[in-house]
Structure 1
Amino acid sequence: MTIRKRRALATGLMAALLATTAAITGCANKEKEKENPPETAERRYQAADLDPRTVAASNAFGLKLFERLREAEPGANVWVSPLSVSSALAVAYSGASGKTAEAMAGTLGLGGLSAKEAGDGYRKLLDLLNRPVDPGIGMATANSLWLKEGVPFRDAYLQDAEADYGAELRTLDFAKKADALKAMNGWVKERTNGRIQKILEDIDPAAVLYILNAVSYRAAWTKPFNANNTEEAKFHVSETEAIPAMMMAQGGTYEYAETDDYQAIRLPLGKNASAAFVVLLPKPGVTLGSLTDKLADDPALLTADWPRRLGQIELPRFRVEDSSELNDSLKALGMGEAFDPKRASFAGIAPEPPNLYIGRVLHKTFLDVNEDGVEAAAATSVEMLAGAAPAEDPFRMTVDRPFVAAIVDAETGAVLFVGAVANPGGD
């Protein structure tokens, strides 16, 4: 089975502009609904209230997952939302028990946190991200649990999902497949502003719960690119092949770093520079894989302090759409126990037997970078089944070959999206 697919996604767990979905089979009969807080709602928390271990875990997990996906198709564009995938799996993790909980905690980087501490961390993180104080940034992330009619889930699990992850609870008749798919896909489409049209193609007969996460993100450049400066140039997709690309250009003072292996720049987003689009460009002769290996080993490279330097940046205008099945990558990262029909245990979600296990985890993303700013989206589906030193001279950074990019929230340090652009013209 291929790890990544670029067609419509089937039943699974995660998605985002960010959108995430999870399917779980088991037992439930309770329906609740939770409205998203209005965009004008005041924050309940401040950045100082956030447990930094939650952000560090999400970032580290997301970058390791990104590297696995990039290794599977080294010549393809890869775009991942660590926030979407980690938060969707965290909702499932909160109901895991025994060795399944241990495996999931290890993979998600939550080994030092209890499920309650992780829930508390995500509650504060999502609250901060959903209420940006910068008028130049619009972001919304939402979770929902879609419960199979007639299956008894544990009240404590549903209450924690609402309280910690802001999850909306809906009950559906999964036997009415067309109506159920329309409702869940419609939720994802709405929550991603139409960028993710569909996350689910079918409902597994054994499915009892879908956990969906959706994130939408739009930010204007703090300093927009002048469209009059955009010109066609060559982008070298390999040492022997170049394609035409529309290259945007601007100059100024930026947070910039340079080593023997790469150049890196942080392009500010929002009126108050409350986020950044980070670009890491391998030096000639350095492979993209060696750079993504560094990121997987040291996620702090994306959030480290860099000196401000005067220089010029040339960046392609591009759009990326990507979809992946994450099962094999998650198993390789140590979460195999959660996929095993005989050994998995999610006793915190519903009474056993039958035991629940994850069937499929799917992820779909979108990115558009142009002269005005950045728009990103992601959707994730998890299917759970019931089983038996700075230089003084101005720098010049021409992004005309494959590169790594990320969107990072400056206030929390959360890596919202990360990916590799091998071909700005598409796959």
Structure 2
Amino acid sequence: MKSPLYLCLLLLEVQVQGQHRSSLNDEQQEQKIPHSPEDHSQPDGENLAHIKIAPSNYDFAFRFYKQVREEVGNKNILFSPLSISTAFAMLSLGARSNTLSQLHKGLAFNLTEMEEQEIHEGFHRVLQLMNDPHREVQLSMGNALFIDDRLKLLQKFLDDVTNFYYSEVISSNFQNSPEAINEINNYIETKTHGKIVDLFKSLDPDTVMVLVNYIFFKGYWERPFNSLVTRDDDFLLDAKNSVKVKMMYQNKAFNIHRDEKLSCWVLEMPYKGNAAALFILPDEGTMRQVEDALLKETMSKWMQSLEKRKIYLYLPKFSISTSYDVKSLFEKMGVTEVFSDQADLSGVAENTLLKVSKAIHKAMVDVSENGTEAAAVTVIELVPLSADIPPPPHIRFNRPFLMMIIDKTTHGILFMGKIVNPAARED
């Protein structure tokens, strides 16, 4: 059986504005991420650095979601806020003046509440925790800079991207465009375990750097569905239209919350390994009000209100992928200068004026039963008798719903989306 699979990729293309270029720094090389989530030799402040950036990352996730919603209308949405914010936070190491201020504001970082150094320490810790090989979920996140061999990075930028973001720095010959494209695509294919192939199609003649961030997640439900009871069912696209889906079913106890104010159900489905999927099912006609209420305060209230309760759960199998022009979305969010000729990325390279010419994001999700129950196992659940306990509710995800994948170790939203049509594989 397939396991739930989520992965995504952000790719930034940086091109030269001026005509001054020089050779690549010979010290640029691959940087490995130390797997040290339990490294108590680090100061407590560094161990908790990821907690400090979490509220900003939530704010960014919901702001970006609402911008995507305005852009795509009534279509599936799926993206990794953490991938996007990590990539642009890394780029901000080389940004200066108003370009830097816009990036911080766009990523929802308030420098009156935290120092710039703390932002990068936070992402540094997130990368350490996410890449711990001892976790039960298969989770990896990383960064790479493909650098034209005529560009010389400033030593400070090189040190910071490798020390904070563990970025691999790979020398490339962008004058040989097919070779460089092939090299980048091979890297992406390897890091996404063959799930994203031939993403990069063309290279602008002025490109001197391509920044890649990837996240790969593969998790197993703590309580898998039995594939033998999956049935064909209708998924209601709207009041008049529906599509056929494979509807999974189980009758077990989950953490749920009924938000009467927003008219929605909130369901937490845990993965093995300290991660969980959060599914939000708005009542018919209330999707917009639930989306508008997506704020870190709402999330906090939902998480604190979850209670374990037996339910009849119906959830469709689905596999979708999406692609976004992040440059266009960021510009509408007020982050404009880094993409313009006014960009100040003077902290990146020597004698070279740079701007971001392209920023693309691709994500995919695959949700299924994830395994079968062993026939030799017998489970008996005992619950106290009470005449006051209401019957288990039927929570049927047979209409558009929201989903988030939350890593409880880093307190981050790995993926966020809206499933409008589970039968539509790509938007």
Paired amino acid for 1:121:
G
Question: C-alpha offsets along residues 318-376 of structure 1, whole Å, 9 cap, x if unaligned?
Answer: 001111111222112221122221x2101111245x43222121100110000007xxx
Which whole-Å CA distance do the structure 2 matches of 1:337 and 1:247 have between them?
Answer: 46
| 1:99-138 equivalence runs, <5 A | 99-112=98-111, 113-131=114-132, 133-135=134-136, 137-138=137-138
Q: CA deviation at 1:50?
A: 2.9
Residues 104 and 335, structure 1, Cα contact 8 Å, conserved in 2: yes
Give the match for residue 11 of structure 1: none
* Residue 32 of structure 2 corresponds to residue 33 of structure 1: no
* Shift of residue 263, structure 1, vs aligned partner: 0.7
- Residues 285 and 277 from structure 1, CA distance in 2 versus in 1: closer, same or farther, beyond 3 angstroms? same
Work out whether 1:403 is the aligned partner of 2:401: yes
Q: Does the CA-based 8 Å contact 2:8-2:214 persist in structure 1?
A: yes
Structure 2 residue runs without a partner (length 5+): 1-5, 41-45, 372-387
Contact kept in structure 1, 2:58 and 2:296, CA below 8 Å: no
Q: Deviations over 1:18-43 (max 9, x none)?
A: 323222234451242225348xx443
Taking structure 2 as the reference length, what is the TM-score of the superposition?
0.86
The answer as to whether partners of 2:36 and 2:128 remain within 8 angstroms in 1 is no
Deviation at 1:63, TM superposition (A): 2.1
Does the 8 Å CA contact 1:406/1:417 hold for their aligned counterparts? yes
Distance 1:72 1:241, change over 3 A: same
Any residues of structure 2 matched to 1:24-423 within 5 Å, and which?
24-26=14-16, 27=21, 29-31=24-26, 32-37=28-33, 41-43=35-37, 45=39, 49-112=48-111, 113-131=114-132, 133-135=134-136, 137-260=137-260, 261-270=263-272, 272=273, 274-286=274-286, 288-296=287-295, 298=297, 300-301=299-300, 304-305=303-304, 306-341=306-341, 343-351=342-350, 354-372=352-370, 392-423=390-421
What TM-score, normalized to structure 1?
0.86
- How far apart, CA to CA, are the structure 1 residues paired with 2:279 and 2:52? 25
* 3-state secondary structure, aligned to 1:24: strand
Shift of 1:87: 0.5
Distance 2:202 2:33 in 1: 30
User: Which secondary structure does the structure 2 equivalent of 1:153 belong to?
Assistant: coil
Code of the residue aligned with 1:30 in structure 2: it is N
CA drift at 1:391: 8.0
Listed one character per residue, the Cα deviations across residues 222-278 of structure 1 (whole Å, up to 9, x for unaligned) are 0110001111111001111011111001121111111232111000111x5x11111
Partners of 2:251 and 2:311 within 8 A in 1: yes
1:62–1:80 Cα contact (<8 Å) kept = no
CA contact (8 A) 1:94 1:116 kept: no
Distance (whole Å) between structure 2 residues aligned to residue 297 and residue 218 of structure 1? 25
| Structure 1, gaps ≥5 residues long | 1-15, 374-389
CA distance in 2, matches of 1:359, 1:118: 25
Contact 1:93 1:115 in 2 (8 A): no
CA contact (8 A) 2:33 2:166 kept: no
Instruction: Name the % identity.
Output: 22
Displacement after TM superposition at 1:147 (Å):
0.7
Greater displacement, 53-62 / 83-92: 53-62
- Do the aligned partners of residues 424 and 292 (structure 1) sit closer, same or farther apart at CA in structure 2, a change above 3 Å counting? same
* Distance in 2 of aligned mates of 1:338 and 1:212: 17
Change (3 A) 1:346 1:44: farther
Q: CA–CA distance in 2 between the matches of 1:391 and 1:61?
A: 40
Q: What secondary structure does 1:335 align onto?
A: coil
Gap change, CA 1:210 and 1:220, over 3 Å in 2: same
Question: CA 1:302–1:269 in structure 2 vs 1: closer, same or farther (change >3 Å)?
Answer: farther
**Can you list the C-alpha shifts for 1:271-300, whole angstroms capped at 9, x where unaligned?**
x5x1111110111221x2322221157463
The secondary structure found in structure 1 opposite 2:52 is: helix
Task: Tell me how far apart the structure 2 counterparts of residues 334 and 159 of structure 1 sit (CA, whole Å).
Answer: 29
Superposition deviation, residue 406 in structure 1: 0.9
Amino acid at match of 1:134: R
Distance of aligned partners of 1:365 and 1:153 in 2 relative to their CA distance in 1, 3 Å threshold: same
Tell whether the 8 Å contact from 1:309 to 1:395 is kept in structure 2 after alignment.
no
SS in 1 for 2:294: helix
